[in-house]
């Protein structure tokens, strides 16, 4: 298992218990799967240089997973416009199988560590109530693991270096359903 720490630009940062993606038991099949699995923490982590991608590929990261690209073309305004979707299960322990087919429970989940690195050398844990959610375009040092011969990728820690305030997406239609 290789561990990497890279400077990245964040999008869709659902990295706290308060904003984790819990899926939708009544939604589409993929939303039901997330709900059935207990939810997930996730973030689209945009690369800030091609060298980062080249290093991962040289180290064995599989560039496709189940026929889909692992490194995804996204918003050109973030980093170099290419990102890696990093996830981590909400439940601390997950059930899986060892290489002999025996059911085992392993701890690969739980909330990632989130640290405020904006005032280095001082650093502190991020406080969701005090500091809020992380908005699109925020920059961070992102730590993740690559495992299973480059097939698996798991979010480990996030260190926020520059915060863009989170602004919930709303539109005029949303106001129709809002009761004061």
State pLDDT tens for residues 58-70.
Answer: 999 999 888 889 9
Q: Which domain CATH number covers 41?
A: 2.40.50
Cα separation of the two ends of the chain: 52
pLDDT value at 28 more than 80: yes
The pLDDT-based confidence of 180 (bands split at 50, 70, 90) is low
pTM of the model: 0.84
Count helices and strands in the chain by DSSP H and E runs? 4, 12
**Reading across the β-sheet that carries 113-116, which strands appear in turn?**
71-73, 82-89, 40-47, 2-14, 139-147, 152-162, 113-116, 124-125
**What residue numbers bound the domain in which 109 lies?**
2-176
Please state the domain count of the chain.
1
Instruction: Kindly give the pairing relationship between strand 103-107 and strand 68-69.
Output: unpaired
Percent residues over pLDDT 70 in the chain: 90
pLDDT score for 103: 82
pLDDT value at 97 more than 80: no
pLDDT score for 99: 79
Token readout for 121 is 């050398």
């Amino acid at each position: 298992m290789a561990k990497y720490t890279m400077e990245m630009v964040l999008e869709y940062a659902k990295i706290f218990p308060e904003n984790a993606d819990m899926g939708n038991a009544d939604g589409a099949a993929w939303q039901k799967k997330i709900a059935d699995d207990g939810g997930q923490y996730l973030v689209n982590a945009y690369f800030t240089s091609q060298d980062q991608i080249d290093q991962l590929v040289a180290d064995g990261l599989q560039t496709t997973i189940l026929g889909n690209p692992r490194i995804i073309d996204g918003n050109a305004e973030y980093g170099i416009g290419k990102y890696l979707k990093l996830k981590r299960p909400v439940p601390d322990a997950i059930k899986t199988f060892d290489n002999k087919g025996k059911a085992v429970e392993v701890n690969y989940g739980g909330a990632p560590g989130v640290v405020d690195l904006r005032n280095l050398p001082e650093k502190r844990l991020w406080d969701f109530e005090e500091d809020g959610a992380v908005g699109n375009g925020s920059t961070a040092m992102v730590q993740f693991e690559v495992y299973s011969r480059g097939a698996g990728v798991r979010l480990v820690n996030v260190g926020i270096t520059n915060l863009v305030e989170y602004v919930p997406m709303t539109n005029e239609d949303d106001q129709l359903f809002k009761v004061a």
